[in-house]
Structure 1
Amino acid sequence: MRRLLLLGTLAAALLLSLLALTPDDPAPSGPPVVSAAAASTKPNVVVVMADDMRTDDLRFMPSVRRLLVGHGLTFRNSFSPYPLCCPARASFLTGRYAHNHHVYSHEDPYGFQSFDDHATIATALHQAGYQTGFVGKYLNGYGAQPSLVTGGPSFHYVPAGWTDWYGAVERPAGSGYRSGGTYNYLHTIFNVNGRIDDTHQGQYQTNVLGRFARGLVTKYHRSPRPFFLYLSAVAPHFGGPREKGDPSHVARTDGGFSRIATPARPTWVRGRFDRQITRASGRPVGGGPSEADISDKPRPMDKAPELSTAEWYGVRALTRQRAEALFVLDQEVARLVARLKATGEYANTVFMFTSDNGYFLGEHRQRQGKIKPHEPSLRVPFVMAGRGIPHGERFDPVTTPGVTATIAELAGATSLMPYPEDGVSVASSVTADHGWSVPVVTEGLESGRVFPQDPFLKAAGFHDARNTIGVRTGRWKYVRYSDGDGELYDLDADPNELQNRISDPAYAEARDRLQAVWLAYKDCVGEACRTPLPDRFQRTPRENEAGTNTQSRGVQKRYGYWR
């Protein structure tokens, strides 16, 4: 209780001292009711979200490191609870876990067509007096799939709450457009405030997004109202057009072949990181095997063959191309910061940089991908800089829904959020760490899990589309699968998750206690998701910093980079 009171006190002090919020909350519906004079005391909020970016990928972004990391706060424990594009982005827009917003995948029957976007962070901020701008990738299927809100086509659909909308669209059948789409880096079609814009063929998508974003900063600068700008990039997600030399039909050790999908890049950036990247990010230092024994992993992961030499070269090429795509985004971040400073807006802006999910690059014999609840997939960068943000590191955990809660709190819009907040705001962590007191609920819908559920899992109720659910605390990770498999890792002792302790008698007590935690949080809503853990699973700020550094040293020893 004392810790919760401290959190509330610090949050209130931060908001009063940094944001000078108005004393009265605006009405929960209708047009903006905050006066221009009052709104101008609130900070602008700019969010740049990469796609499939790992935490260690920050080393390929010198401008982000210099401008944001070098002058802001880096959160060392940042997680995407459902590490997949569509569910993660729906969580950011709503502040909810996937089991509450029900966007479980990018594939049918999910994707954009399953997302209720009639009320989001955009509508809340709009009601709080903000101008709101969206630029880039929305949810998979947007443009081609029908809108859940209107029941009609989405090619010209603009979600509620956005002052300006520059959304990349997929081509629906019968649209008349024969090429182009969200994942074509050199031919992206946009819905610009309801009008289709197909004038950017041959232009690299990330540069187009940067131009759009800078234009909105210039536009919003002319108004006394604050603004929220969300730049949602595709980089470094794989995407076309295919380029000469891309790894594709790569021989495996089991006689099969791997398709390694890569992002397209401008010609000028190709080869930039070849000397720096001598091996895949997920290959151990010294070139050892990905994982000597994978029999302890859940099905079908336990059947993955070790990577062949050709595959390791392919994943190295993928690592390089991803770095190159990120470097282009890095330049656009620098230009966006420069525009904010040139207009004088940066002094009143909180700038956030993150990703929708992490990515495997060879770890656990995973050639590439995400969705799974292991650290390379789960961890994402999160950096805050700008108005009132000091320089340094924080060790408090932050999740994708927590980022949303943080934005709402900074903007004075928490009471206007359309749903109970599942995430914990880290606005008060700007002043100091508070420790790890709430778990991260990991979720996923993995293909191939068609085995019968065991009695415990039936009783516990794997009752929705999820077939993997876990809890991640400062020290432990406990995951259950709908087919009866499970994982338990002591991350202080095993930060690279090489030894699954789910069946180890020495860990029976921890397993049983974590099972109770799992049952308590797996279907949580709102305040229940933010309820403190049992004391034995909490960590004080000092304990959490020490544990995080211990885990990071273990990763560095194995892979050669700091996480």
Structure 2
Amino acid sequence: MIRGLAATLAAAALLTACSGSPGGGDRAARAASTRTPAVVALADLPANDGPNILVVTTDDMRWDELRFTPNVRKYVTSRGLRFTNSFAPNPLCCPSRASFLTGKYSHNHGVYTHEAPYGFGAFDDHLTVGTALNEAGYQTALVGKYLNGYGKQLSKVTGGPSATYVPDGWTDWMVSIEKRWPAGSPYRGGTYNYNAFTQNVNGKVTGNRGTYSSVVVGDEVSGLVRKYDGAGRPWFIWATPVAPHFGGPAESDDPPSYRTSRGTKSLFKTPARPRWVKGRFDDVITRSLGVRPGRRPSERNISDKPEFFRELPDLERPERPRLLEVQRQRAEALFAWDRQFAKIVRTLKQTGQFRHTVIVFTSDNGYFMGEHRQRLGKIKPHEESLRVPLVMAGPGIPHGVRQSPATTIDVTATILELGSATLPDVDGSSMVPLFAEDRPWQVPVVTEGAQKLPHQLGGFPGALTEMGLRTGRYAYFRYSTGESELYDLAKDPLELRSVYDDPAYAAVRDDLAALWRTYRTCAGDAGRTPLPPAYEVSVAQLRAIHANAVAARKRYYG
């Protein structure tokens, strides 16, 4: 049994708060007192008999796309826990990844979007989950994609260029770079070129032209697993493949853009795939996951939605085959990564590390695939965007399903507890108590987003234009434009009809508005304060709500 876990499981009658605490203090003073060298000598690491920890975070993967990753299902889902209510509170790559690294909501770490000045350049990465685990005795590595803007934007920590910058606390740093390379440079591509995945490898720019990026990431992770084996210290590897995010190079079967009858231009961006996987799902996938059978409307009436929804026409006939092709290419890109995941597992088994390794598989955000007239995309606070896959397996983790909510920042708190590490100001709660048993939904998920909307109302920190609360039964969203949405997910799990203006829900709306004001800027313990009893949802109720949602989706989308 891993250190600290046996005692936690034995005392799992109480929900353990995460290791951080609210507050802050002077950032510069804290940075000066806690900074560690970028690479720490192995002999200088303290003893730690915790498990190895492998976290795989895909890019823009929906929760229901796990069906395209058979090796994840074989090696993780089939022997570990699957979380049916897993969310990325800010469903966009850059802020979601910053939340995982810090264990904080966006309104506390200040990364609101991927664009300057709120992307990588806004991120203070001198102290992260990697740093904390490294200080606790772990060998640490990040392999794949980091934050959007890394390589282009200046580092907040150093104030200098970031293409060769390596944050403190990482034993190995193998991260893709976003950069406009000058004429004559031997490097091309970057994060979103699947066949030219240029990286910063421990401070040195390295090109990978001609090698598919999932292969690059898979080979590097396997290499690190072998490198760290037998070193006498556990390791933490965060593997972040780009799949199934769209990216080049352009391919002959990519769907073209389309201009609707209202003049709206629909873009259908896809990921590049290796040749061997093309066409693999053509007989299996006959429709995008978010498109209804036949020519049924995506959502017939959207008058209950905010103006930026109402501007969109329903899906038109030429768009349906385009979305189908996007879905097939996403599945192929995921399957290509899944092959690399299987290679990593084989390396773990060959080195005798598999049974000592906790594996977590998740995504940085969900993705629309036609729902609510949203052709593609994320950011918005609805289920298709917020929900992400989350499965984990390893020592001390049983096989089963959990209905209790789990978020990106809860994963961070869990890893910290497993590794006996600490990180200040964490907002999430450790999920280790859930290894023993499921729990009611008692604490809301604060949803956040920075859409390009006018700030007509106050109360939205930084660049945020949407903040909401997701409870076990209700989804409540408020926008900086003054518009709001409210859904009763027990009756309307697909969020087809907002009840915000329904007199029958006036009391619920008023209650959630008051709770919204309480939680919207929460930090640390304040964000873990239980909801009033009327808004807590039992495990049995959560099971019923989940079963109803599955049935409703099957009826609506087939």
- TM-score normalised by L of structure 2: 0.92
**How many positions carry a matched residue from both structures?**
532
2:59 and 2:236 mapped to 1: Cα distance? 20
Residues 541 and 488 of structure 1, relative CA distance in 2, 3 Å threshold? same
Correspondence for 2:205 among 179, 187, 196: 196
1:507 maps to 505
Offset at 1:222? 2.6
Q: Note if 1:470 corresponds to 2:468.
A: yes
Q: Note if 1:184 corresponds to 2:189.
A: no
1:331 maps to 339
2:438 maps to 433
Residues 36 and 340 of structure 1, relative CA distance in 2, 3 Å threshold? farther
Summarize the alignment of residues 200-211 of structure 1 with structure 2, pairs less than 5 Å apart: 200-211=208-219
Contact 2:93/2:114 (8 A) holds in 1: yes
Summarize the alignment of residues 17-416 of structure 1 with structure 2, pairs less than 5 Å apart: 39=47, 41-172=49-180, 174=182, 176-177=185-186, 179-198=188-207, 200-413=208-421, 416=422
Offset at 1:320? 0.4
Offset at 1:195? 0.9
- Percent identical pairs in the alignment equals 51
1:36 and 1:542 mapped to 2: Cα distance? 49
Using CA pairs under 8 Å that are at least 6 residues apart, name the structure with larger relative contact order, 1 or 2.
Answer: 2
1:240 and 1:499 mapped to 2: Cα distance? 38
Secondary structure in 2 matching 1:241: coil
Q: Kindly provide the CA deviation profile for residues 21-60 of structure 1, in whole angstroms up to 9, marking residues without a partner as x.
A: xxxxxx9776889999984521110000000000000111
- Runs of at least 5 residues in structure 2 that lack an aligned partner in the other structure: 14-32
2:426 maps to 421
The residue type equivalent to 2:197 in the other structure is: T
Contact 1:251/1:308 (8 A) holds in 2: no
Q: Note if 1:444 corresponds to 2:449.
A: yes
1:52 and 1:78 mapped to 2: Cα distance? 14
Secondary structure in 1 matching 2:404: strand
Offset at 1:286? 4.6
Contact 1:253/1:307 (8 A) holds in 2: no
2:237 and 2:45 mapped to 1: Cα distance? 20
Contact 2:194/2:249 (8 A) holds in 1: yes
Residues 276 and 128 of structure 1, relative CA distance in 2, 3 Å threshold? same
**RMSD (Å) for aligned C-alpha atoms:** 2.2
2:111 and 2:531 mapped to 1: Cα distance? 27
Offset at 1:256? 3.8
Residues 29 and 145 of structure 1, relative CA distance in 2, 3 Å threshold? closer
Contact 1:394/1:433 (8 A) holds in 2: yes
Contact 1:145/1:172 (8 A) holds in 2: no
Offset at 1:171? 2.1
2:136 and 2:251 mapped to 1: Cα distance? 46
1:422 and 1:119 mapped to 2: Cα distance? 15
1:256 and 1:104 mapped to 2: Cα distance? 27
Offset at 1:162? 0.4
Q: Kindly provide the CA deviation profile for residues 255-301 of structure 1, in whole angstroms up to 9, marking residues without a partner as x.
A: 44322111000111011111111011101245411000111111211
Contact 2:181/2:187 (8 A) holds in 1: no
Contact 2:299/2:314 (8 A) holds in 1: yes
Contact 2:56/2:239 (8 A) holds in 1: yes
2:10 and 2:527 mapped to 1: Cα distance? 21
1:309 and 1:169 mapped to 2: Cα distance? 39
Q: Kindly provide the CA deviation profile for residues 351-403 of structure 1, in whole angstroms up to 9, marking residues without a partner as x.
A: 00000000000000000000000000000000001212111111110000110
1:3 maps to none
Offset at 1:109? 1.5
Residues 315 and 111 of structure 1, relative CA distance in 2, 3 Å threshold? same
Q: Kindly provide the CA deviation profile for residues 138-175 of structure 1, in whole angstroms up to 9, marking residues without a partner as x.
A: 00111121111001111111111100010101224648
1:484 and 1:252 mapped to 2: Cα distance? 29
The residue type equivalent to 2:195 in the other structure is: L
Offset at 1:251? 3.4
Secondary structure in 2 matching 1:301: helix
2:28 maps to none
1:24 maps to none
Contact 2:438/2:539 (8 A) holds in 1: yes
Secondary structure in 2 matching 1:359: coil
Offset at 1:8? 13
